[in-house]
């Protein structure tokens, strides 16, 4: 639970630091993916849906130092692959 809370805090940081594109890229929607990204567990359907909706924003999130380690992690890549979302090249 503490990991999920930490992820939510990071998501809020990304949203507030996102600037003009924060309206289109809403990292708070990725909070449903906190467990799979942190632990490697199987993502839920809502997680996969959120990833598909935010896929155009991954590079923006990866450039944010507060969030980059999560986006670039092996578990994030595993989650994207499980959901059938292409891993972006940034």
Q: Which residue reads 């940081």 in tokens?
A: 13
Please report the domains of the chain, with CATH numbers, ordered by start residue: 26-84 (1.10.110.10)
**pLDDT of 6-56, one tens digit each?**
444 344 434 434 443 445 898 888 999 999 999 999 999 999 999 999 999
| Cβ within 8 Å of residue 47, ≥6 positions away | 32, 33, 36, 79, 83
Residue 65 burial (10 A CB sphere; 0-12, 13-18, 19+): exposed
Q: Using CA atoms, how far apart are residues 43 and 40, in angstroms rounded to an integer?
A: 8
pLDDT for 29: 87
pTM: 0.71
């Amino acid at each position: 639970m503490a990991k999920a809370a930490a992820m939510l805090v990071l998501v809020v940081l990304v949203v507030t630091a996102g600037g003009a594109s924060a309206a289109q890229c809403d990292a708070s929607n990725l909070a449903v993916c906190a467990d799979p990204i942190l632990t490697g567990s199987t993502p839920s359907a809502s997680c996969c849906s959120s990833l598909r909706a935010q896929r155009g924003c991954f590079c923006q999130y990866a450039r944010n130092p507060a969030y980059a380690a999560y986006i670039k992690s092996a578990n994030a890549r595993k989650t994207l692959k499980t959901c059938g979302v292409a891993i972006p090249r940034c």
